[in-house]
Structure 1
Amino acid sequence: MAVHSIEQAVASSSRAYVLPPGFRPSYGTAGFRAVADLLHSTMFRCGILMAARALKTQQVTGICITASHNPAPDNGVKLVEPSGEMLCQDWESYANDLATAQTDAELAKRVMALLAAEGIPATGPALVMVAHDTRPSGPELAAAFADGVRCLGAQVQMCGLLTTPQLHWMVMSRNLGAPWAESDYYSALAGAYQRLVAGTQPLGQPLYMDCANGVAAPKMAALATALAAAGAPLALHLLNTGEGVLNGGCGSDFLQKDRQLPSNFQGVPPGARCCAVDGDSDRLMYFTPLQEAGGRALLFDGDRIACLSAMLLKDLISQLPPAAQDVSVGIIQTAYANGAASRYIRDNLGCSVEVTPTGVKYLHEAAHHFDVGVYFEANGHGTVLFSKTLLARLEQLKEESRAAFELLALAVVINQAVGDALSGILLVEAALRRKGWGLDQWAALYTDLPSRQLKVTVADRAAIVTTDAETRVSQPAGLQAAIDAAVAAVPNGRSFVRPSGTEDVVRVYAEAETQDAADGLAATVARLVHARAGGVGPAP
């Protein structure tokens, strides 16, 4: 398509997707996110962006239309690189530039400036894959995105209903020249899981899975069918499969924030092995109902999944031939990691630890610093990345070393593109089976410090500026000193605040020796934020 024709196509097509008055989308930690009715222009412009990225790289790119753990009326975008990873950070500024253009002509000029700056040809083959979750707004927003892709003469492949990690995996596999269909995803994971658990005994009780009334329900059912066909069946009870509201009183985010059993779990017996995912199935939390009244749950969060994963890795690496055991294993954490988990990793696992700002894009990047990088945010979003160098070494050893063979299987079970709750379930189940552990043994690794998370609604989240991997506040002046004073008054206290990456709130985290102390510290810090950072509405 000629340059002049592209500019005309963008300006003409964008008339159907007007930026809503007063709406200023901002690319957060995981893309754009807002009430779905506001996002048609954003989707259209993201279509242009990802077509440009496909033309630039001469590879397939993708997008999943989802708002993850947000309420059902919201929606958003997660943009997929040819590697299957999230959009490279260098292009986030282009995403903001296009999304905030006020007129059709301004948008067309910004598109042409992007193409010129990146040396992107005006013609050439390009393909973008698009999927969506179960939100009612998904198909309509996918159509807006597709119109944006076509403005640059690129092709779009509508993949329909998928989990976000499935779409990432499919883009990665397609660009690697490997089988990439949805059915290939199930067969790859199931076959690798069978190799990992061969010779071990099933855990002896079913896994109760909270599907968050989202896309996980049909996709986990399909994976279960593949597992049975591979000779490694997983006994499952799927709950919250779509009969209720997406992420409403259920799902991993609800479980983590409220520490209460999800809807429809009141009849599940105490001690049962349970897990929960979020709306687009990229977060995973294990839990079990407690004996005590009140519907409380004992959580096995991302910190515990990271520790269990690292233990499995260390076990397998120790079984490699001595000359091949020089494998660096790093665990990547954010400030949300429980202090007890950090101490256990440091004192017991012997792994390197790296701390990054909140946001999976930062953890994912840091995970590449090691032969094997393990990252799971406390909210359950994460994966295990194997370096290409290590995978090549393991391929050379797999005929003589069972451990090398099994490490290669592990690298297939756990999604190498992005955090994936379905593959994460297989990782946890395999690790527990290989150790012969129940939840009691997993829980006994360490005892979490009680914690509490709150959020404070503010007029502008940018009023909070943080440093030191988001553990300290530099603006507004005086807030950090006030937080320090509040923390000093609480035994084993720790607290930090950070602006949300997805909404105009400030998130507050607190830890202490007792739950009452953690609750009180979180409330104190939330009031400080409200008073000093432009809180909206009554103080917490």
Structure 2
Amino acid sequence: MALPEAVLAASRPYPLPAGFRPSYGTAGFRAVADLLHSTMFRCGILMAARALKTRQITGICITASHNPAPDNGVKLVEPSGEMLCQEWEAYANELANAGSDAELAAAVEGLLGREGIAAPGPGTVLIAHDTRPSGPGLAAAAAAGVRCLGLEPEMCGLLTTPQLHWMVMRRNRGKAAGEADYYAALAGAYAQLVAGTQPLGQTLYVDCANGVGAPKLAALAGQLAPAGLTLELRNTGDGVLNGGCGSDFLQKDRQLPSQFEGVAPGTRCCAVDGDADRLMYFTPLEGGGKALLFDGDRIAVLAAMLVKDLISALPGGAGADVRVGIIQTAYANGAASDYIRDNLGCGVEVTPTGVKYLHEAAHRYDVGVYFEANGHGTVLFSKAFLAQMQQLAGESKAAADLLALSVVINQAVGDAISGILMVEAALRRRGWGLPQWAALYTDLPSRQLKVKVADRAAIVTTDAETRVAEPRGLQAAIDAAVAGVPRGRSFVRPSGTEDVVRVYAEAESQEAADALADAVARLVHAKAGGVGPAP
């Protein structure tokens, strides 16, 4: 399919800013919003090509998630509802970095030729955005890119990122996929999961990060009340997006978000991020200002317990051969990993950092559970397992409840709103409050640092980023530093976005974790070309 002159004309309003070199990260492109119009235009072309290639529906969500309000970015959605396949990330980088209209035309023609896209055909691209002021303009740029390949985009307006992923997945399965359908599906499945149980008897306070989660949770809340779940929403848009609030603020600072100063210690609270794909539970601590966190590791453990409870209740030994796996990265707290291995009887698999790697690994199990420590994750059910549950559902409440759980927890991508319902159902079915959840295990103290280096590529890792292959001698030195530290563990990895090396350490005490992190940071600085004074 030859690229018409109209495409060259369409690209002229969207030149690549001088000196800007966008790089596709774990979940798309991000930068200061003013730099991104060319990137969004080219992503529109890319996802139109992906739609033509697959002859299905793809998606584009304009969002920078937990980043500050002046930033923006894009998340690209496969027909399955999952993130853009890794094989097409190279195309994304090539198009985004084309320096001129002619170079872009050549890159697009190359993509179409290599993928065998010879003529216009069926395909649709859904486009949505979060609450950032830059969103509508960047969405319009993406739409202009889609039109270049002869497709007309569907503008979905304001949505959470997980809602758009869910809609793409459902549309391609021929199922009802409107926003109202999303709320009805989640609320109905939640009501089934908690039927016959007692409400927890306390309002759930939700920090909405002044983002898109606020109006969407408000729309859902009325459908949850009949099932005994009452939400009180805070940080609903009057303040700064992700400013002193939201799941990322909680994880990094362990401080109470704004508007939570008067909430009593022990109260059940949770927080989402700017596009509502990350979830963190918390409660205020005595003394004011601090929060006790229930992070992604704890959410993963609770989810696995719920799954295991339901599988154990299946009739006739139907659950005996079900493979349940928990997928973690090296950042998972060692105490959580130990609890899973010692108490849950689940497989534990470690992948490189990045949700796309965890999601891929989760597909290898009948039920794959993954949550990064930052609260981004989900529970995936294989098609074969769900088909088995469909056959059993008429005679087994446990099978019917597993099917309901597969609806409550988003099967396309991590979803903070659906994650809230999963956590609430899991606690309610056990009759637990936060104290029982907290008592499962005690997190090992940890510390994260970063070391500025001349070239992060000097660090080469293996074994899911837990071991250093290059520079030679660094891993042996790290091993020696760890050897004398009770329950010590440390690893280093190059950043995906800047010339720094990230250092993680944990130990039996906070003082020991801090000291170990400092020692390993000095080793990295000495052996990997550190810039500036040693840490």
Moved more, 297-306 or 500-509: 500-509
Question: SS at 2:270's partner residue?
Answer: strand
Deviation at 1:107, TM superposition (A): 1.0
Matching residue within 310, 313, 320 for 2:314: 320
Matched, 1:203 2:179: no
Question: SS at 2:275's partner residue?
Answer: coil
Could you report, residue by residue, the CA deviation over 1:237-263 in whole angstroms, capped at 9, with x for unpaired residues? 211111221111211111112222222
Matching residue within 489, 495, 499 for 1:500: 495
Matching residue within 127, 133, 136 for 1:139: 136
Residue 424 of structure 1 corresponds to: 419
Residue 82 of structure 1 corresponds to: 79
Residue 260 of structure 2 corresponds to: 265
Where structure 1 has 5 or more consecutive residues not aligned to the other structure, the ranges are none
Closer, same or farther in 2 for the Cα pair 1:328/1:188, shift >3 Å? same
Deviation at 1:305, TM superposition (A): 0.7
Deviation at 1:264, TM superposition (A): 2.1
Deviation at 1:7, TM superposition (A): 4.0
Matched, 1:17 2:18: no
Alpha-carbon distance between aligned partners in 1 of 2:242 and 2:499, rounded to the nearest angstrom:
20
Question: SS at 1:128's partner residue?
Answer: strand
Matching residue within 53, 56, 80 for 2:53: 56
Deviation at 1:406, TM superposition (A): 0.6
Closer, same or farther in 2 for the Cα pair 1:36/1:455, shift >3 Å? farther
Residue 35 of structure 2 corresponds to: 38
Residue 459 of structure 2 corresponds to: 464
Matched, 1:297 2:294: no
Closer, same or farther in 2 for the Cα pair 1:120/1:411, shift >3 Å? same
Task: Confirm or deny: 8 A CA contact 2:43 2:145 kept in the other structure.
Answer: yes
Deviation at 1:492, TM superposition (A): 1.6
Q: Which amino acid aligns with 1:304?
A: R
Structure 2 counterparts to residues 100-115 of structure 1, below 5 A: 100-115=97-112
Deviation at 1:461, TM superposition (A): 3.8
Residue 334 of structure 1 corresponds to: 329
Deviation at 1:486, TM superposition (A): 3.0
Q: Which amino acid aligns with 2:283?
A: T
Alpha-carbon distance between aligned partners in 1 of 2:72 and 2:532, rounded to the nearest angstrom:
25
Residue 399 of structure 1 corresponds to: 394
Deviation at 1:73, TM superposition (A): 1.5
Matching residue within 441, 447, 455 for 1:446: 441
Moved more, 474-483 or 362-371: 474-483
Sequence identity (%): 80
Deviation at 1:528, TM superposition (A): 4.0
Closer, same or farther in 2 for the Cα pair 1:455/1:260, shift >3 Å? farther
Matched, 1:520 2:502: no
Q: TM-score, normalized by length of structure 2?
A: 0.96
Task: Confirm or deny: 8 A CA contact 2:261 2:288 kept in the other structure.
Answer: no
Q: Which amino acid aligns with 1:237?
A: E
Could you report, residue by residue, the CA deviation over 1:251-279 in whole angstroms, capped at 9, with x for unpaired residues? 11111122222222221111111111111
Task: Confirm or deny: 8 A CA contact 1:482 1:528 kept in the other structure.
Answer: yes
Where structure 2 has 5 or more consecutive residues not aligned to the other structure, the ranges are none
Task: Confirm or deny: 8 A CA contact 2:224 2:230 kept in the other structure.
Answer: no
Residue 217 of structure 1 corresponds to: 214
Alpha-carbon distance between aligned partners in 1 of 2:480 and 2:272, rounded to the nearest angstrom:
37
Aligned positions, number = 534
Closer, same or farther in 2 for the Cα pair 1:464/1:194, shift >3 Å? same
Matched, 1:360 2:355: yes
Question: SS at 1:16's partner residue?
Answer: coil
Closer, same or farther in 2 for the Cα pair 1:328/1:526, shift >3 Å? same
Deviation at 1:338, TM superposition (A): 0.6
Q: Which amino acid aligns with 1:32?
A: F
Deviation at 1:480, TM superposition (A): 3.0
Closer, same or farther in 2 for the Cα pair 1:534/1:240, shift >3 Å? farther
Q: Which amino acid aligns with 2:442?
A: T
Matching residue within 305, 308, 314 for 1:311: 305
Deviation at 1:225, TM superposition (A): 1.8
Q: Which amino acid aligns with 1:452?
A: R
List, as ranges, runs of 4+ consecutive aligned residues in structure 1 with deviation greater than 6 Å: none
Q: Which amino acid aligns with 1:297?
A: A
Task: Confirm or deny: 8 A CA contact 2:359 2:370 kept in the other structure.
Answer: yes
Closer, same or farther in 2 for the Cα pair 1:129/1:15, shift >3 Å? same
Task: Confirm or deny: 8 A CA contact 1:224 1:233 kept in the other structure.
Answer: no
Deviation at 1:164, TM superposition (A): 0.5
Task: Confirm or deny: 8 A CA contact 1:84 1:171 kept in the other structure.
Answer: yes
Alpha-carbon distance between aligned partners in 2 of 1:386 and 1:436, rounded to the nearest angstrom:
25
Could you report, residue by residue, the CA deviation over 1:35-75 in whole angstroms, capped at 9, with x for unpaired residues? 11211111111110000000000000001111111111111
Moved more, 486-495 or 274-283: 486-495
Alpha-carbon distance between aligned partners in 1 of 2:451 and 2:288, rounded to the nearest angstrom:
26
Question: SS at 2:215's partner residue?
Answer: helix
Deviation at 1:217, TM superposition (A): 0.8
Alpha-carbon distance between aligned partners in 2 of 1:324 and 1:513, rounded to the nearest angstrom:
41
Matched, 1:238 2:233: yes
Residue 436 of structure 1 corresponds to: 431
Could you report, residue by residue, the CA deviation over 1:184-227 in whole angstroms, capped at 9, with x for unpaired residues? 10000000000000111111111111111111111111111222
Q: Which amino acid aligns with 1:185?
A: Y
Deviation at 1:524, TM superposition (A): 3.4
Alpha-carbon distance between aligned partners in 2 of 1:392 and 1:375, rounded to the nearest angstrom:
22
Alpha-carbon distance between aligned partners in 2 of 1:476 and 1:245, rounded to the nearest angstrom:
43
